[in-house]
Chain A
Amino acid sequence: MSDTPRTRTIRTDYLARVEGEGAMYVRLDGEQVADVKLRIYEPPRFFEAMLRGRAFGESVDITARICGICPVAYQMSAARAMEDACGVAIDDGPIRDLRRLLYCGEWIESHSLHVYFLHAPDFLGYPGAIEMARDHREVVERGLQMKKAGNQVMTVVGGREVHPINVRVGGFYRAPTRSELRTLVDPLERAREIALDTVRWTTELSFPDVDRDTELVALSDPGGYPIDLGRIVSDRGLDIDPAGFDEHIVEEHVEHSNALHARMRDRGAYLTGPLARYNLAGDRLRPTALEAARAAGLGPQCTNPFQSIVVRSVELVEACDDALALIAGYEPPGRPWVEVEPRRAVGHGATEAPRGMLYHRYEIDDDGTILDARIVPPTSQNQLAIEADLRAVVETHMHLPDDQLAHRCEQAIRNHDPCISCATHFLTLTVDRG
């Protein structure tokens, strides 16, 4: 930290508890926030290039490598996009159910990591999980038990805990038996209880009074809470098939980041993720999760990003409950995949990664060779909205000393669980006070 009469700069070597690497820069001009920039080093660009020339079936295994926390999201968006290109839609039946079950496992893993290890310290007043763990061992133990249930779903349905190997375009290589799925019932029932306790626990936390007015975008699945498929809708009237993504959402290169920032054409920033899903589809939660939300004082709308920890906890209940229902109704498919014949076409796929909507678009040749790939992860869609949140935080907390202001900014970023790359864990934070 350096101080001069004109300029103060805060530099922290990394922003803890954000997956990935990147940097944040805030410049103050007197009492005005002159500039807020979130810089992201984003691996999808590298993967897009790598996908070109590969076989369409390889897309699910290659893109799964983009993220260690949400590989299933990449696999599901890729599979749906390839199936779309080839004229196949797996919108119901046992293969779809298995996909959704696998996706529930990923939501449980990812959300439990965020709720108990990354976000909880912000509300309990600790700099990080390690310091929190010394006083609140029960939070860590809950998190570990919860995450383990997710791991077990991933192992049974996906073939292993991370980077599932059982997923293919058209379905799965092997369908689990009913008795294999039954082994998941006990851990998931316990996890659902823990999740319900966690929702109740969030009522003891205090939240800064923040009300954000950002366009919210999520998938809309008429059959339930959005996870694995649906149209793309917003609270400002957007209602499109994933194929219409390009028409309504533009991606722009910005100087300070090698990531592309997505924005709604003509409107600007928008937010995807738990808050968007809850506001747009909260009424489609299963009864257990909906009751838990109401009992915790969560109304039909929630626009305070700090309360995303409550929404994530509600989604943990939903994912456990949904997974249990899928297991109870499971009839193994005759064959665990449908034939997908390549043809020269463009396909689109959008699913709800734990941290927000993930869109894939592929152009493939007659023999299935990938000609072009485009991947728009939730974090680059949320980037403008996160910057706007940061600006609001700085405006209202300018009076704080630099280190406390920096901490507030970190929290504002963490609210959105940005998976900046999963490849590294560093984010540099700089605040210039002119």
Chain B
Amino acid sequence: MVIGVGNRMRGDDGAGLAVAERVRAAGIAGREHEGEPVGLIELWSEAGASAVVLVDAVSSGATPGSVHRFDASSAPLPATWSRSTSTHALGVAEAIELARAVGRLPQRVVAVGVEGACFELGAGLSPAVEGALGEVVEQVLGEARALLSSVEAPDAARS
């Protein structure tokens, strides 16, 4: 499943949510979440997801609209994710590590970060992020399909 994390009321922080919406339109399970860590763990636990792509806005100083990717299946998100001023990167990093500590982390977890430009209350997506969405969605769909096949393969072999 794809989980878009963010807050639509805070400018580019809504990027993850916009991606989840478009992913859903493409026929892949896409959920939206505010990024509170325990709620995130519940979301993927309840769904029994074995593979998750988390999409969030980040603010690391890179060019707005650029895309970061990190496979968190067996390693924590790097500090640049959790120390950024992105409003929810910390929630995502915490959720992953908390879940890992109690054995509730899906088998495969990939985080995709969209570099944001503006996180002001009441703002919409910035042109840079809006313009990058199509590409981000394609990348996320590619990740999702690859993960799905990687976790489904063992099942297919058994049946």
Q: Chain A residues in contact with chain B, CB under 8 A?
A: 13-14, 21, 43, 46, 50, 65, 68-69, 113, 117, 128-130, 133-134, 137, 140-141, 143-144, 147-148, 151, 161-162, 422-426
CB distance from B38 to the nearest CB of A (A): 6
Question: Which residue from chain B places its CB closest to the CB of A116 in the assembled complex?
Answer: B38
CA A13 – CA B82 in complex, angstroms?
10
Note all chain A residues with C-beta closer than 8 A to B10.
423-424
Within 8 A of A (CB), among B94-153: 94, 97-98, 101-103, 119, 121-122
Chain B residues, CB < 8 A from A133: 98, 101-102
| Pair A130/B90 contact, Cβ less than 8 Å | no
B39: A residues at CB distance < 8 A: 68, 161-162
A137-B87 contact given A68-B34, A69-B36, A147-B38, CB 8 Å threshold: no
Which residues on the A side are within 8 Å of B66 (C-beta)? Answer: none
Which one of B13, B98, B119, B122 lies within 8 Å of A129 (CB-CB)?
A: B98
Residue of A nearest to B119 (CB): A424
Complex formed: what's the CA distance from A128 to B94 in Å? Answer: 10
How far apart sit A238 and B86, CA to CA, in the bound complex (Å)? 43
Query: Is residue B83 within 8 Å, beta carbon to beta carbon, of the partner chain?
Result: yes
Q: Tell me which residues across on chain B come within 8 A of A162, comparing CB atoms.
A: 34, 39
Q: Which label, helix, strand, loop or mixed, suits the secondary structure of the A interface?
A: helix
Contacts of B97 in A (CB 8 A): 130
Tell me if B60 is interfacial: C-beta within 8 Å of chain A: no
B121 CB to closest chain A CB (Å) equals 5
B87 / chain A contacts, CB cutoff of 8 Å: 21, 423-425
Contact string against A for B residues 30-44, beta-carbon threshold 8 Å, 1 for contact and 0 otherwise: 000010111101100
Q: How far is the CA of A117 from the CA of B39 in the complex (A)?
A: 12
Instruction: Check A117/B38 contact, CB under 8 A, given A134-B101, A141-B102.
Output: yes
Residue from B45, B83, B101 in contact with A130 in the complex, judged by beta carbons closer than 8 Å: B101
Contact A65 B38 (CB under 8 A): no
In the complex, which residues of chain B have a beta carbon less than 8 angstroms from the beta carbon of A46? Answer: 121-122
Inter-chain contacts of B91 with A (CB < 8 A):
425
User: How far does the Cβ of A402 sit from chain B's closest Cβ, in whole Å?
Assistant: 20
* In the complex, the 6 A-B pairs of residues with the closest C-beta atoms, listed nearest first: A133-B101, A424-B87, A68-B34, A130-B97, A46-B121, A425-B90
Q: Are B9 and A65 interface neighbours, CB within 8 A? A: yes
Q: How far is the CB of B72 from chain A (nearest CB, A)?
A: 13
Task: Beyond the given A21-B87, A147-B38, A151-B42, please list 10 additional residue pairs across the A-B interface where CB-CB is below 8 A.
Answer: A68-B34, A128-B94, A129-B37, A130-B101, A140-B101, A143-B38, A144-B38, A422-B34, A423-B9, A423-B121
A143 to B87, CA, bound (A): 24
Write 6 A-B pairs (CB below 8 A) sorted by A numbering. A46-B121, A68-B39, A128-B94, A162-B34, A424-B10, A425-B91
Q: Which residue of B lies closest to A19 (CB)?
A: B36
CB-CB under 8 A from A141, the residues of chain B are 102
Q: Please encode chain B, from 71 to 98, with 1 for each CB lying within 8 Å of some chain A CB and 0 for all others.
A: 0000000000001010110110010011
Contact status of A425 and B88, CB under 8 A, knowing A65-B9, A130-B97: yes
Q: List A contacts of B119 (CB < 8 A).
A: 424
Give the Cβ gap from A366 to chain B, nearest Cβ, in Å.
Answer: 28
* Residue contact B98 to A140, C-beta cutoff 8 Å: yes
Interchain CA distance A134-B158 in the complex, whole Å? 33
Nearest chain B CB to A142 CB, angstrom units: 11
For the complex, what is the distance from the CA of A368 to the CA of B40, rounded to whole Å? 38
Q: Which among A46, A129, A137, A147 has the greatest number of chain B C-beta atoms within 10 A?
A: A129
Interface pair A50/B90, CB less than 8 Å apart: no
Q: How far is the CA of A23 from the CA of B3 in the complex (A)?
A: 30
* B7 partner, pick from A117, A147, A423, beta carbons under 8 A: A423
Cα distance A95–B87 in the bound complex, in angstroms? 37
A422 and B7 alpha carbons, distance in the complex (Å): 10
> Given the complex, which residues of A lie within 8 Å of B94, measured CB to CB?
128-130
Count chain A CB atoms within 10 A of each CB in B13, B42, B102, B121 and give the residue with the most. B102
B122: A residues at CB distance < 8 A:
46, 50
Measured in the bound complex, the distance between the Cα atoms of B59 and A426 in whole Å is 13
- Taking A147-B42, A148-B42, A162-B39 as contacts, is the C-beta distance between A13 and B98 under 8 angstroms? no
Measured CB to CB, the nearest residue on chain A to B43 is: A161
Q: Contacts of A426 on B, CB cut-off 8 Å?
A: 85, 90
Most B CB atoms within 10 A — which of A143, A151, A422, A423? A423
For B98, what are the chain A residues with a Cβ–Cβ distance below 8 Å?
117, 129-130, 133, 140
Q: Is the CB of A68 within 8 A of B36?
A: yes
- Chain B residue numbers with a CB within 8 Å of A113 are 36, 38
* Contacting pair A140 B83 (CB below 8 A): no
Which residue, B13, B38, B85, has most C-beta atoms of chain A within 10 A? B38
Q: How far is the CB of A15 from chain B (nearest CB, A)?
A: 11
- In the assembled complex, the CB of A67 is this many whole angstroms from the nearest CB of chain B, namely 10
In the complex, what residues of B have CB within 8 A of residue A14's CB?
Answer: 90
Within the assembled complex, what's the spacing in Å between the Cα atoms of A132 and B42? 18
How far is the CB of A381 from the nearest CB of chain B, in Å?
21
Residues of A within 8 A of B83 (CB): 13
| Cα distance, A68 to B103, chains bound together (Å) | 26
For B45, list chain A residues within 8 Å (CB).
Answer: 144
Q: Judge whether B90 and A137 touch: CB under 8 Å.
A: no
- Complex formed: what's the CA distance from A263 to B52 in Å? 47
- Cα distance, A21 to B101, chains bound together (Å): 26
